[in-house]
Structure 1
Amino acid sequence: MDAVFQTERAVFNFRVAGIWIVDHHVLLHRNVDDVYWALPGGRVVIGEDTQTSIVREFAEELGAQVTVDRLLWTNENFFTYKGKEFHELAFYYKISSEETARFFKTESFYGLEGDRWIYQWMPIDEINKIVLFPEFLKEGIKEIPDYTQHIVDRAKSSI
């Protein structure tokens, strides 16, 4: 069971995401119905630690075996999505894989979940040209921190 629940006020979501950088490109994804991009990952399962969650999510979504390098950010994000208020707690991990050649492509592609999610290796120097959430990632991905950072985003983005 995913660690997500809805109250009268908002939806709480516990999420993990992976920062997979190859040759100055970062892997992003978006739902086919959305116009914004995000880092691949997913919800944490209750009773599962976040490192196990990110490895599981990449296996489920792409069939990729990834290694967790280190935790880069924890993020408390407050936003509105499709008219619903969200309070999201997310862990962002730098990841790598020995299978990079199998996944690094110049064109967009679909994962194992069919045509629901579009994946794209985005050149990092072009990341300001797209809509990426949470917004702190645009600068964060350009300058990966040497230590774990905790970020609270109360911008109340509406997507």
Structure 2
Amino acid sequence: MISVHLDGQRFQVRAAAIILHAGHVLVHRAPGDTYWALPGGRVEVGEEASATIVREMREELGEEVGCGPLLHIAENFFDLAGRRNHEIGFYFLVSLGEDSQHLDKTRSYRGIENHLELEFRWFPVAELPFINLRPTFLPASLAADPMVFSHAVQREYH
């Protein structure tokens, strides 16, 4: 995975899935997290970011997905667990199969990332400003109609 520690910071390259269905978006969080994020993971060396999405959804949800167009590139600067992070994020529009077992909006789903059990949940796009979704540019960009390509620089520290 592309994740290195330099000068007291972690630098990483991440690919994330924007999974929309019936006015909802699928997000996830790890145990103990107070925030939600789009599912995805770190890009492996030599791996295309779109392939990261397919691999991560297979690993975390056991789901085969279709990876569509790149919608956002984000430069994220944030603190996590007492460490500064600099992340380059690629955000792709992703579709689940029509026969997916993960389309019921009334329940949460469990997924696995390494040894962590993840919680996946659908939220109405209109409610995203009221949940702790990271990075914070996402609620407005996901509500845009039509959604257009964007480049965001998100700084939680200076």
TM over 0.5: yes
Structure 2 regions of 5+ residues with no counterpart?
A: none
Structure 1 regions of 5+ residues with no counterpart?
A: none
- CA, structure 1 residues 91+139, in 2 after alignment: closer, same or farther (shift >3 Å)? same
CA RMSD of aligned residues (A): 1.8
Quote how far apart the aligned CAs of 1:125 are.
1.4
The question of whether the paired residues in 2 share the 8 Å contact of 1:63 and 1:112 is answered with: no
Moved over 4 A (4+): none
One-letter identity of the residue aligned with 1:139: A
- CA, structure 1 residues 146+34, in 2 after alignment: closer, same or farther (shift >3 Å)? closer
Quote how far apart the aligned CAs of 1:109 are.
1.7
Match of 2:14 in 1: 15
- Distance in 2 of aligned mates of 1:29 and 1:138: 15
Quote how far apart the aligned CAs of 1:47 are.
0.7
- CA, structure 1 residues 64+129, in 2 after alignment: closer, same or farther (shift >3 Å)? same
Aligned 1:93-112 pairs, distance under 5 A: 93-99=92-98, 101-105=100-104, 106-112=106-112
Partner deviation per Cα, 1:31-83 (whole Å, 9 max, x = no partner): 11111000000000011010111111111100111111100000000011111
What secondary structure sits across from 1:104 in the alignment?
coil
- Distance in 2 of aligned mates of 1:125 and 1:31: 23
- CA, structure 1 residues 144+46, in 2 after alignment: closer, same or farther (shift >3 Å)? farther
The question of whether the paired residues in 1 share the 8 Å contact of 2:68 and 2:94 is answered with: yes
Partner deviation per Cα, 1:101-135 (whole Å, 9 max, x = no partner): 41112111211447621100111111122101000
- The reply on whether 1:132 has 2:155 as its aligned counterpart is no
- CA, structure 1 residues 100+143, in 2 after alignment: closer, same or farther (shift >3 Å)? farther
Greater percentage in helix: 1
Identity %: 38
**TM-score, normalised via structure 1 length:** 0.91
